[in-house]
Homo-oligomer: A and B are copies of this chain.
């Protein structure tokens, strides 16, 4: 999906914060080899904007009002498998980043990236290279290597965060209370948490879970 002018990288910016979009615009202003062709503030408009403009590079926030950036990316890449999408993330150590990379993101950038990093990232993405913010990359390595919670454990923790007791969680998941307790023990051990409250907080801090 080339742009109309082969020498210019066309960019779509997807973020729900106008000021951040303006910041990107500011950084890219004056760069002769890139041009913002569209902005979007949510997932739906991002998908529409992509269909209309076929940008070379899309900067996509993970947190959008209507859907996650990952879902928007999935839709776009299902239609345009060659779409080049860079994830913008606010928080260091966001576990979503790993999921996004698995699903074809071209890389990710912390929102507190410097101007040069942003410009370099866009050019690298256009060139087909994977782009990883150095700061974020170390975090990624951190929780990739660390004890990851299993799917079932995540389900248990999510239910616990909703204020459910072990018995209620067991009913919800269709298992025995002992099983839930067993999962919870693993969770506490993996997260090095003192109790379920601490576990939820730790998981949120590490980006393992969103609340």
Contacts and interface: CB of A to CB of B under 8 A. Distances in A.
A194 B164 contact: yes
Chain A, interface residues (CB within 8 Å), range: 35 or more
A112 interface: yes
A200 B193 CA distance: 15
Interface in A151-184: 160-165
Given A23-B21, A26-B23, A163 B197 contact: yes
A6 interface: no
Interface stretch (A11-19, A94-102, A131-139): A11-19
5 contacts: A18-B114, A26-B29, A163-B201, A165-B194, A197-B197
Interface of A: 16-27, 29, 111-115, 118, 160-165, 193-198, 200-202, 204-205, 211
A198 B26 contact: no
Contacts of A24: 19, 22-23
A141 to B, nearest CB: 22
Contacts of A111: 17, 19-20
Contacts of A25: 23, 26
Contacts of A201: 161-163, 200, 211
A19 B113 contact: yes
Contacts of A198: 161-163
Most buried by B among A19, A29, A112, A202: A19
A164 B193 CA distance: 10
A19 B20 contact: yes
A136 to B, nearest CB: 14
Contacts of A161: 197-198, 201
Contacts of A211: 201, 204-205
B19 A163 contact: no
A118 B163 contact: no
Given A164-B194, A197-B161, A200-B197, A22 B18 contact: no
